[in-house]
Amino acid sequence: MATARRLARDLLRAGIVVVSGLARGIDAAAHEGALDEGGGTIAVLGCGVDVVYPRQHDRLTHQVRQQGCLVSELPPGTLPLPRHFPLRNRIISGLSLAVVVVEAAERSGSLITARMALEQGRDVLAVPGSVVSGCHRGCHALIKDGAGLVETAADVLAALGMDSRAPVPDVAVRGGVAGEMTPGAPIGLDDLAGRVGRSAPEVLAELGLLEVEGVVARVSGGLFVRLD
C-alpha cells in the first residue's frame, strides 16, 4: 500500500492522472497518493456513482468526487454486486495509457485488468515483491511474461516514453490531440488519429483525459468536439 501511494503521488507530480477502482487496499492507497498532490484521480466504480462502497470509503469517495472524478457505467442506485467488478476493470484499463499491477497473488482481480489492458493495446507493468508471502506471484508471472518491471515512478514514465527529468506539458496539449481539433467542430476518432499519426486506442485514451480536464466533450454519433 505504501508503494502504491508513493507511485501515485510521484506520478501526479509528473502530470499523470491515476485511475483505479476505489476498492480496499491498493486501490485506496493509489487514490490517496493522488489526492496528496491535489487530485488528478479517477475512480471507476462497480456500483452507481451515488452508492458508497465499501462503506468505510465514505470520506475517500467524497474527496475523489471533489478533487477528481467518479465513473460508472451502471445507473445511479445500482448496488455493488460481485459480477460488476470484473466488468468495471475493462474501463479502468481502457481509460489508462498503462496499467501498473502493484500487488497480485496468483488468482487476483488485478490480473483480469492486466489481461484486458493487453487486449486493449495498453502497456502492462508490475511491481516485484517478496517471494515468501505469495502476494506477489501474480506480479512475478507478469514480469516473466514480459511486463515492465516498476520500482519507481520513473519506470512508469519511461514506459510511456516520457523523461522523468523533463517538465510535463499540460494534458490539454500533450500529444497534440487537442491541437489538431478545431474548437466547436466535431470530429471522429479515426479521422483524429489520422491527423496526429497515432493509433486510435492511444488517441481515445488521451481524449478520455481531455474529457476529464473539460477540454473535450463527446457528442452524438461517436464524435468529439473541442470546447475552447
State the Cα–Cα distance between residues 72 and 54, nearest whole angstrom.
15
145 and 184: one domain?
Answer: no
164 located within any domain: no
pLDDT for the residue numbered 102: 96
> Are 90 and 181 part of one and the same domain?
no
In a domain? residue 93: yes
- Between 26-30, 44-48, 69-73, 109-113, the lowest mean confidence (pLDDT) is in 109-113
Please check whether residues 155 and 188 belong to one and the same domain.
Answer: no
What pTM, to 2 d.p., does this model score? 0.73
Task: Identify whether 121 is part of a domain.
Answer: yes
Q: Say what the pLDDT of residue 8 is.
A: 96
Total number of domains in the chain: 2
- Residue 43 cell numbers, joined: 475512480
The 8 Å CB, 24+ separation contacts for 182-191 are 182/226, 183/225, 183/226, 183/227, 183/228, 184/225, 184/226, 185/225, 185/226, 186/219, 186/221, 186/223, 186/224, 186/225, 187/223, 187/224, 187/225, 188/221, 188/222, 188/223, 188/224, 189/222, 189/224
142 and 196 together in one domain? no
Same-domain status, 204 and 131: no
pLDDT one-digit tens code per residue, 169-213: 444 444 478 888 988 899 999 999 888 888 887 788 788 778 877
Pull the grid cell for residue 109: 482481480
When pLDDT is averaged across residues 2-10 and rounded to a whole number, the result is 95
Percentage of residues of the chain with pLDDT beyond 70: 94
Question: Order of strands, edge to edge, in the sheet holding 148-149?
Answer: 98-101, 123-126, 148-149
- Burial class of 28 by CB neighbour count within 10 A (0 to 12, 13 to 18, 19+): buried
Q: Are residues 178 and 155 in the same domain?
A: no
Task: Write the burial class of residue 93 (CB in 10 Å: 0-12 exposed, 13-18 middle, 19+ buried).
Answer: buried
pLDDT for the residue numbered 188: 92
Do 179 and 155 belong together in one domain? no
92 and 155 housed in the same domain: yes
Could you tell me the end-to-end alpha-carbon distance of the chain, in angstroms, rounded to an integer?
39
Tell me, yes or no, whether 45 and 140 share the same domain: yes
CATH number at residue 186: 1.10.10.10
193 in Cβ contact with 208 (< 8 Å): no
**Are the C-beta atoms of residues 214 and 178 closer than 8 Å to each other?**
no
Mean pLDDT, the chain, as a whole number?
89
Find, among 16, 61, 62, the residue nearest to 37 by Cα.
16
- For residue 169, being part of any structural domain is answered with no
pLDDT number for residue 173: 41
Q: Is residue 165 part of a domain?
A: no
Q: How many beta carbons lie within 10 A of that of residue 163, not counting itself? A: 11
User: Which residue, 127, 159, 191, sits at the end of a domain?
Assistant: 159
Residues 150 and 178 in one domain: no
Q: Do residues 21 and 103 share a domain?
A: yes
Domain annotation covers residue 13: yes
DSSP element (H, E) containing 7:
helix 2-13
Which residues on adjacent β-strands are paired with residue 149?
A: 126
Same domain, 180 and 84: no
Distance CA 2, CA 218 (A): 36
Range of the domain at 133: 2-159
Query: Cβ neighbours of residue 144 under 8 Å, at least 6 residues apart?
Result: none
Return the pLDDT at 207: 85
Task: Give domain status of residue 75, yes or no.
Answer: yes
CATH number, domain containing residue 12: 3.40.50.450
pLDDT in tens, 144-175: 999 999 999 999 999 988 866 554 444 444 44
Q: Give a yes or no: residue 167 inside a domain.
A: no
